[in-house]
């Protein structure tokens, strides 16, 4: 296949040696999106090859390391676990220009992996950006998906109907104005202006308890220098803040598809994540498959609930896989 060739970096494998709690074998697949030349995506593939599939989707600024305590619980339950590193993260290829990354390309790259592995009977687990990316993949090919676990995630559409529903406001007002949470704007501007970024700073700052230094260092492992961080920095800039944003248009299209999704859809949000609070109720109201389900509030965890409550999230996933 031919296509536009991007300048791409790969993090040296030595950076991933002896990471605590992460003894999983790496797997790689070539993925394509938007007419670009193939890129190499890393993913974990654990558990029985013929088992129901849990597709574990991370967001910014993490990678599949985030799910290290979730994976063994799912495997013990007979579930095949696929946990990719988004392009620009983890062991996956890292284009060097921020403008190489778009919301649509992230969706395309993950869809390419799902199709290339011919995954079916999928339970999607989406946290942070893993939600809108994974849900948009589902919207494009819903027959592959049996169920969803939405965990501390969003689907920004800037819809005026979101007014008063979200802890961090992002919604239109009348015909030409928008209401934005100040903390969200501060976060976005920091990621674009700071001369250096460290993934561990974001993971550590949102944790409800201090994380071990070696764990924080594992989140920094994929990013030896700033040239490897273009995807991490750009992902925040892709946040849809207005109704006219291309990401908001994608989000509205995805929400329309979710409004037809009647298979099990369960929310598992922590009680310590103000950034996503309110979205669980939006999904419960808008998605037919969420109605009448048992939804979960996971106590004592921050935004990256996999870090502090991975076992509890895993049990929710096992239950939902059993519903599919």
The one catalytic residue in 128, 171, 245, 296 is 128
The one catalytic residue in 93, 100, 245, 273 is 273
- DSSP code, position 195: S
Residue 27: strand pairing partners: 43
Q: How far is Cα 323 from Cα 4, in angstroms, rounded to an integer?
A: 42
State how beta strands 8-9 and 94-95 pair.
antiparallel
For helices 130-140 and 103-116, what crossing angle results, to 10°?
Answer: 60
How many separate helices (H) and strands (E) can be counted in the chain? 10, 12
Structure tokens at 267: 């929310």
Q: Are 250 and 129 in contact (CB under 8 A)?
A: no
Q: What is the largest distance, in Å, between two alpha-carbon atoms of the chain?
A: 54
What is the C-alpha to C-alpha distance for residues 321 and 262, in angstroms, rounded to an integer? 15
Retrieve residue 226's tokens.
């700033």
Closest CA to 61 of 212, 234, 182: 234
**How far is residue 62 CA from its own chain's centroid?**
9
Of 106, 156, 228, 303, catalytic: 303
CA dist., res. 245 & res. 238, Å (int): 9
The distance from CA 117 to its chain's CA centroid, rounded to whole angstroms, is: 19
**Any catalytic annotation for residue 273?**
yes
Which two tokens mark 248? 């908001």
Q: Which residues are catalytic?
A: 128, 273, 303
């Amino acid at each position: 296949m031919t296509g536009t060739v991007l300048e791409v970096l790969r993090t040296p494998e030595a950076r991933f040696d002896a990471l605590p709690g992460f003894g999983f074998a790496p797997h790689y697949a070539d993925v394509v999106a938007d007419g670009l030349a193939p890129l190499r995506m890393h993913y974990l593939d654990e558990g029985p090859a013929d088992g129901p599939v849990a597709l574990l989707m991370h967001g910014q600024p993490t990678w599949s390391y985030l799910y290290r305590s979730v994976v063994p619980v799912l495997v013990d339950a007979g579930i095949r676990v696929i946990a990719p590193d988004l392009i620009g993260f983890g062991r996956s290829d890292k284009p060097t220009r921020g403008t190489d990354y778009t919301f649509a390309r992230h969706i395309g790259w993950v869809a390419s992996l799902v199709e290339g592995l011919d995954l079916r009977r999928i339970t999607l687990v989406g946290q942070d950006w893993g939600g809108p990316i994974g849900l948009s993949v589902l919207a494009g090919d819903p027959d592959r998906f049996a169920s969803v676990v939405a965990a501390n995630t969003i689907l920004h559409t800037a819809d005026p109907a979101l007014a008063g529903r979200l802890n961090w406001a992002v919604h239109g007002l009348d015909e030409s104005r928008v209401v934005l949470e100040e903390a969200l704007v501060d976060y976005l501007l920091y990621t674009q202006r700071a001369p250096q970024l460290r993934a561990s700073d974001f993971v550590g700052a949102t944790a409800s308890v201090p994380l071990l230094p070696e764990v924080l260092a594992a989140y920094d492992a994929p990013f030896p220098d700033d040239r490897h961080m273009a995807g991490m920095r750009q992902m925040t800039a892709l946040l849809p803040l207005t109704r006219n944003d291309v990401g908001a248009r994608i989000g509205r299209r995805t929400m329309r598809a979710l409004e037809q999704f009647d298979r099990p859809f369960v929310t598992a949000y922590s009680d310590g994540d103000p950034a996503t609070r309110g979205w669980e109720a939006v999904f419960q109201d808008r998605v037919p498959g969420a109605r009448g389900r048992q939804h979960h509030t996971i106590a004592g965890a921050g935004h990256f609930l996999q870090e502090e409550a991975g076992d509890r999230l895993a049990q929710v996933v096992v239950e939902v896989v059993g519903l599919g």
